[in-house]
Structure 1
Amino acid sequence: MKLMQLLTKKYNFSQGNAIVGLLFSFAIIEVVAELFSFKVILFAFRPLIALMILYLYWITSKERSVLFFITIFFLLLTSIFIILETELFLKLGLVGIVIHRLLLIIYIIKLNKVKDYIPILIAIIPFVFIFSYLLSISDGIPEGSYYPLLVQNILVSILGGVILSNYFMTETTNTPWLSIFGVLFIALYFTVFIEKLFLNNLPPTYFRPLGMVLYVTSYYAFYKFVIDTEKLNTNANENNE
């Protein structure tokens, strides 16, 4: 029985490494496709990023949280809708992004077993200030986009506050992957925000390859955070018993 468990563990480990290799290989293909605006390749490969993260979690996690699958599923839907670039699909993509980020916030709070929300409220303030300032000085806001951008700013500020407060308040069960995810995710949002509102006269090839690198690395970091936190929580429960 132990031999079978050991063999299964080794198989999943080697399979996981292969999936990680494919994940970053596809990321390189996506960066090249963004550089040369190959829409067909973007449509074919971008959804695979989310699918591979889902599969990677499936083979490496013992808990296999439904909330993780739902969160990344909305990321998958959003990545498809945004590529299509029609008005209907862009609106659906916006709704998908809102749901996805709400789920990210709820999931991180659940994993970290947050009980005191005061540090989060304090940590949100600098993010709200920065994003509100950038939004107020922008002259390039597309018509009808102000309130969707405001909602996005609030959600990203809350997410940033949750991650920042965790960094300072949680010492015993902290994993560096959440901080890495936070830095990469905020950088990704800044890249998109600055491109759309301040530098939209420049070709998209200036920013989208960087955005793709940040997209893949941030969600890989999120996956690693979830796996590490599940292990830490399991060990803590076993020690309490």
Structure 2
Amino acid sequence: MQLLTKKYNFLQENAILGLLFSFSIIEVLAELFSFKVILFAFRPLVAILLIYLYWVTSKERNVLFYMTVFFLLLTSIFILFESILFLILGLIGIFTHRILLIFYIIKLNNIKDFVPILIAIIPFVFIFSYLLSISDEIPKGSYYPLVAQNILVSILAGVILSNYFMNDSNNSPWLAIFGLLSTALYFTVFIEKCFLSNLPPTYFRPLAMILYVTSYYSFYRFVIDAETINAKKEAITVTQ
């Protein structure tokens, strides 16, 4: 019975993954050809499938994962509209998402020493601040939101970078992959908005969509790995 259950869960997981990457290909094509109706219909499905995939595969089903991806889902919907209200809601959503993301990674990796994080943040803050200072194409009213975004992305990158070098006992390669892809995603969007806004969006958005899907799939895999590692540590502690 247990073998049948494992086989069913394996098939279910692969079916969800197949849907996830199929929808991602549709999204990339929609971005390439600017099909807004398809974007509106399929973009939220990426976050929804991640939530369902985690529900199927995780034994812990941590509420922080659902909250983090839920705000990602809200943001992916809000940014499809062009009104000021939805823009503000999108900014609130992405700020909340990134704060939860940082807190969740710190919690999963049991990080207690924050000095390496502070050191690792510095180069990212410097790079993004420099790029912001030399940009002549910052959209009106976007300067302070971009500063806040730069700080949050720098903190996230600093947490991941410091964990990679300082926390060997609780390291998952998926966290490093997520950090690389998510930083590349933000860098791509940042360059598009602040330096090359005169170019058609089809130059960057298909790439951004690929980075978006692969980075958050990597985040999901990191969470599963971290939960497995932490469960094994707890089991060893109990037996001792």
TM-score scaled by structure 1?
0.98
2:151 partner amino acid: I
Structure 2: how far apart are the matches of 1:12 and 1:168? 34
2:164 pairs with 1:170: no
Paired position in structure 2 for 1:79: 76
Structure 1: how far apart are the matches of 2:93 and 2:60? 25
Deviations 1:120-162 (A, max 9, x none): 0000000000000000000111111111000000000000000
Paired position in structure 1 for 2:67: 70
Paired position in structure 2 for 1:98: 95
Paired position in structure 2 for 1:108: 105
Identity %: 74
2:22 counterpart (6, 25, 49): 25
* Alignment of structure 1 residues 130-141 onto 2, 5 Å: 130-141=127-138
2:172 pairs with 1:147: no
Q: CA deviation at 1:6?
A: 2.8
Runs of 4+ off more than 3 Å: none
Paired position in structure 2 for 1:59: 56
Q: Which of 10-19 and 208-217 deviates more?
A: 10-19
1:56 partner amino acid: L
Deviations 1:35-75 (A, max 9, x none): 11000000000000000000000000000000100100000
Structure 2: how far apart are the matches of 1:208 and 1:36? 10
Q: CA deviation at 1:239?
A: 1.1
Paired position in structure 1 for 2:45: 48
Q: Tell me the SS of whatever aligns to 1:83.
A: coil
2:198 counterpart (196, 201, 207): 201
Q: Which of 191-200 and 142-151 deviates more?
A: 142-151
Paired position in structure 2 for 1:157: 154
Q: Which of 167-176 and 215-224 deviates more?
A: 167-176
Deviations 1:2-57 (A, max 9, x none): x2x33222211110011011101100000000011000000000000000000000
TM-score scaled by structure 2?
0.98
Question: How many pairs align?
Answer: 238
CA RMSD of aligned residues (A): 0.7
2:31 counterpart (27, 34, 42): 34
